[in-house]
A and B are shown apart, each in its own frame.
Chain A
């Protein structure tokens, strides 16, 4: 009585388990899929895929946004974009922002991160101070710096006037405006990169550094041969954010310079706004959006594939 069921159980068990596991696989997945996929799929379709498709469609028309697009112009909008001097300026500026991020912002952030993770008094306070600009809204930062740079009533004006000379108007000069904007970008975002590096630094095993110390490594050697290689993935992530941030930059530029003077401080998104939205050129603006999308996707995916493969 007792052996038979046990025996049959034993015989049946593996087959049953196999069947059950596959049954759980299918039956267990479907409710989850049915419950959780549609909302996300719907949202993604309505707010991401459809607009993207629509933008691609509109980009082939000369259209002012009223009723339906009817005037088919083929690839004319794209031709106009690449002929537009302001768009080339925007591309160069986006490149500049990336270069400045790599050459100044990230090294600065890393240096400060190594400083404020040292057990010095006040280090935590400095972390907070350096992080403050990042917390500020982009628009507010733009307005503040517009005032700071003002040569009449602003901080720059007061400093120059204190020495009895006429102050420069950096934001109003096409040769200096972009440099002034880059200064604000570094000021605004280095704190964010610093926080990334602080987290990265804290993840480094103290013992490795101690071992290096015992081996007689100098401070610079410890940084170059131990800290930096172990921060590799953080550096790559930080640069990734810098690249993406440069492509998104808009809300700080508008109050700061309005993308002027003479389009000197255009970025790709401000270009889209001033030439697409403000001029009611929805077709042209959509074409800019498509170009921006292609650039973003290409950059993001190739960066991840090439540099962040192992992270």
Chain B
């Protein structure tokens, strides 16, 4: 009896204190914990500006930036999400990882916020970007930037080898150029085999060009033998053949991405299959060994070549799409903050620093000619494939990366490589 009495009193006391807390929380600060992985000081400053502007406009809301390094972020996030102190807002690459997260109940769908005021927010964003963040009919992240992977080349080195970059349209053209560069004593490609994912760009594009969108989607759905279907073996074979030409810089198998970019930026290799912003002066200056890099008019670009007889076309793009995810435990103001962060005015700040926007009306802020060129390609895209190592989820994605390097270096046959990817995918 006494025990029951005490607990009842305890419950009353607890209830009373909760009431007090509830009443005060309407006036108290709510804190939006913004987990990011930004290391570029200029971009970080822009993020802080946006956070401050929001705090000023919304008294009582605090935006707190939290940082985790890229790899640490990926490893720690699942634990963080299930802890008592999850972030309110975190970075995503979309794809299988986001899909897995959406099934855990730890993140919040954004549909209600997107559709508020007759879909005001939804209409600001490009439909393709939203669909990339949609799983099971709900939108799980607010997209804010996109990109395309393509070949960047050093015009001077191309000239030295007698190669015309604007004439490379097919894989045969490309391998011909690689051979000519080698004959002229120029290292054709800068390759980041140590990080593995830079090589998965080749595997992914070759697979896309061989299989086309229908073939690729069929493989993802496990049809026609999945990733062991004919086009994927053929793509692997082309990758292996390219590897046999020994096109990369010495020591490429150990090179991380930050070690690979300078190989191109210093003029030590003629081509780099890389991100959309590789030719901007900021990127050149921050990656090149001499702090300057290549002059912009010395850098050319061509989309990943098509393959004769392949189902893929030149207008099919491969690249990243990034967004912000709101967690289930986030304060209710978080969606509003994300909307603020991704509006045209704020998005333009990041566009000025090299982002390619997914919001209508922010592409006017693109000033860099090379980025404009990329944006033009994206505008014409008929299919945008997310990074395959993100799209297929963390496990299969890493197997794709492993196999890309293994096939490229001749360690594993294209058949075995495809089989291992399919084994992981069908598990």
B41 within 8 A of A: no
Chain A nearest CB, measured from B105 CB (Å): 8
Chain B nearest CB from A269 CB (Å) reads: 14
Beta-carbon contact of A173 and B253 below 8 Å:
yes
Q: Chain A interface residue count: which class?
A: 20 to 34
Who on chain B is nearest to A66 by CB?
A: B104
Tell whether, in the assembled complex, residue B253 and residue A260 are in contact, meaning their CB atoms are under 8 Å apart: yes
| CB-contacts of A264-294 with B (<8 A) | 274, 277-281
Instruction: List B contacts of A126 (CB < 8 A).
Output: none
A261 touches B254 (CB 8 A): yes
Which residues of chain A are within 8 angstroms of B427 by Cβ–Cβ distance?
62
Majority SS at the chain A contact face? loop
Cβ–Cβ < 8 Å partners of A177 in chain B: 254
Chain A residue contacts of B289, Cβ below 8 A: 153
- Assuming A152-B251, A169-B254, A257-B254, is B409 touching A262 (CB within 8 A)? yes
Cα–Cα distance between A277 and B398 once the two chains are bound (Å): 12
A64 at the interface (CB under 8 A from B): yes
Do residues B254 and A278 form an inter-chain contact, with CB atoms below 8 A? no
B244 within 8 A of A: no
> In the complex, what residues of A have CB within 8 A of residue B82's CB?
66
Interface flags for A58-86 (1: CB within 8 Å of B; 0: not) read 00001011110000000000000000000
Given contacts A65-B78, A152-B251, A169-B250, contact A280 B193 (CB under 8 A): no
Separation of A152 and B251 alpha carbons in the complex (Å): 9
Give chain B nearest CB distance to A177 CB in angstroms: 8
A257 proximity list for chain B (CB < 8 A): 254
* A 149-181 binary contact with B (CB < 8 Å = 1; else 0): 011110000000000001101011110010000
When C-beta atoms are compared, the residue in chain A nearest to B81 turns out to be A66
Q: Which of A152, A171, A262, A279 contacts B406 (CB 8 A)?
A: A262
Contact check, B411 vs A279: say whether CB atoms are below 8 A apart. no
A64 adjacent to B100 (CB under 8 Å): yes
Minimum CB distance partner of B411 in chain A: A262
B255 within 8 A of partner (CB): yes
A-B contact pairs, 26 of them (CB 8 A): A62-B427, A64-B395, A65-B79, A66-B101, A67-B104, A151-B251, A152-B251, A167-B250, A169-B251, A169-B253, A171-B251, A171-B254, A172-B251, A172-B255, A174-B253, A174-B411, A258-B256, A260-B194, A261-B253, A262-B405, A262-B406, A262-B411, A277-B75, A278-B398, A279-B398, A280-B100
Contact residues of B with A, CB < 8 Å?
71, 74-75, 78-79, 81-82, 100-101, 103-106, 193-196, 250-256, 289, 393-395, 398, 402, 405-406, 409, 411, 427
